Amino acid sequence: MIRVDVCYPAKENGRFDFDYYTQKHIPMTMDLLKDYGCVRSEVDKGMPGPGGASPLFVCVGYLYFEDLERMAKGLEAIGSKLAEDMPNYTDIEPQIQTSEIILPAS
């Protein structure tokens, strides 16, 4: 299983619309990527840690794929469409990591 983490760093005066992201962007993303083996998504909202420490990321979106090859084809095919939608929910440039899940949740 492959996971793509789309991490939006917390920044002063950064804008992030969670309603748009969760109700429009993620469903659109899932619809566009389902034929490329995207099987699941999750969204985390950053919050202060113990002692009030600021979160590193305001949001992290996770996309789960069956395999790396199909994920790469999907992101190549529709990545520009996803990027075009970004101004609708944020002005924060994301950091992206691709990982192989080697120990699934228990």
Q: What is the pLDDT along the chain (106 residues), one digit of tens a residue?
A: 999 999 999 999 999 999 999 999 999 999 999 999 999 999 999 999 999 999 999 999 999 999 999 999 999 999 999 999 999 999 999 999 999 999 988 8
Count how many residues are written for the chain: 106
CB atoms within 10 A of CB 32: 17
Q: Tens digits of per-residue pLDDT, 84-98?
A: 999 999 999 999 999
Buried b (16+ CB within 10 A) or exposed e, 37-65: bbeebeeeebeeeeeeeeeebbbbbbbbb
Identify the pLDDT of residue 27: 98
**Domain annotation for the chain: domains and CATH numbers:** 2-100 (3.30.70.100)
With vertex at residue 24, the alpha carbon angle to CA 8 and CA 72, rounded to the nearest 5 degrees, is: 60
Write the single-letter amino acid at 23: Q
CB atoms within 10 A of CB 19: 8
